[in-house]
Amino acid sequence: MSKNSITLDVDFTIMENNMRIIKENPVEDEFNRLLATIDPVPAKIVKPRPGFCVKTFTKPDNKKVFVNICLTEAIPSPRDITNDELMQILSSEDPSSYRVPMSIGEGRTVPDKSGAPATVYDVAINPEFFKKIEKDDLFQTFFLTVVFEGLQDKYQFEIEMHKFTVLKNRKSIGTLQSHRIQVRDVKHCEETVKPLIEEISEKPSRKVTEVPTIKKEIVYRLRREPPTGQIEYLLAEFKIPSSVELKDLNLEVGEDRLVLDSKGMYDQVDFFLPCSVDHDIIDATLNRNNDMLFVKMPIIH
């Protein structure tokens, strides 16, 4: 899931009667029954094999970063295009129309050849596309730019975009990690509007109904607005415990997925959205009168 981090604004003016979560709503029940008919996206765990390793650096602190480009047939290959077509796409008004399916893994610390600690990330792609970037400098530069931008977006740090080296004698650094890959056919990946880089969920869930109050879990629900007719936006509502401060919350919304983290204080909320949303114009408001977080997500029609 490509996703954006959202800055939460505190609003003390919303009245309590506008914040109440309604537990019984016939329209909402019908909406949830409709959602229940949607099959969850299946996933499988795969162990990719080495491809090549890229060394780069963060800025401004100049810390060493390694990116293992690894291979698995579980990820589809993007459509095959020529160099001229790629140049035309990159110079067009919508360069994101060419998408590269990939899986970005979590960072980990390993020692480099001198014994100094370095951060390593695994990025898995289709082997056929790997052959293309391995022999074509233009596609390789384009691909690595996409990878670096994805790492920056996910982990909120800056990379020296033009200061990288493909290692000649190492295909990977450290032990490659397993990836959880959603099973989607190539046609679906090409025709459905998705983020440039789709992130892999550790514990994917399509649960959108109210969650019972259990220790360490944040209670939440998802509803549509308006209740009838064409959907204009989805509204996610979260009950945020008073012990959780604004600075502890990290909200990330992608086109079809929402993740809310509280720095380990409570279990991470992570679920897929039933509709595609415009993650560039998400509106998130934390109301401390009732300890409620509202996330308004406009629908992409």
pLDDT (tens digit per residue) in 149-176? 989 988 889 998 888 999 988 999 998 9
Residue 198 lies in a domain: no
Range list of H helices, the chain: 26-36, 83-90, 127-135, 137-155, 186-191
User: Among residues 126, 159, 191, which one ends one of the domains?
Assistant: 191
> 131-146: per-residue pLDDT in tens?
999 999 999 999 999 9
| Same domain for 167 and 48 | yes
Rounded to an integer, the average pLDDT of 282-290 is 89
Residue 10 has pLDDT above 60, yes or no: no
Residue 298 has pLDDT above 70, yes or no: yes
Domain count, the chain: 2
> Which residues form the domain of 130?
43-191
Distance CA 16, CA 204 (A): 32
Distance CA 44, CA 184 (A): 11
Residue 127 lies in a domain: yes
Most confident of 10-19, 90-99, 113-122: 113-122
| Same domain for 181 and 81 | yes
DSSP state of 87: H
Distance CA 248, CA 293 (A): 13
User: Among residues 191, 216, 234, which one ends one of the domains?
Assistant: 191
Pairing of strands 250-254, 257-261: antiparallel
- Residues ≥6 apart with Cβ < 8 Å to 91: none
> 183-197: per-residue pLDDT in tens?
654 443 343 444 433
> 262-272: per-residue pLDDT in tens?
888 888 888 88
- Residues ≥6 apart with Cβ < 8 Å to 111: 117, 118
| Same domain for 279 and 141 | no
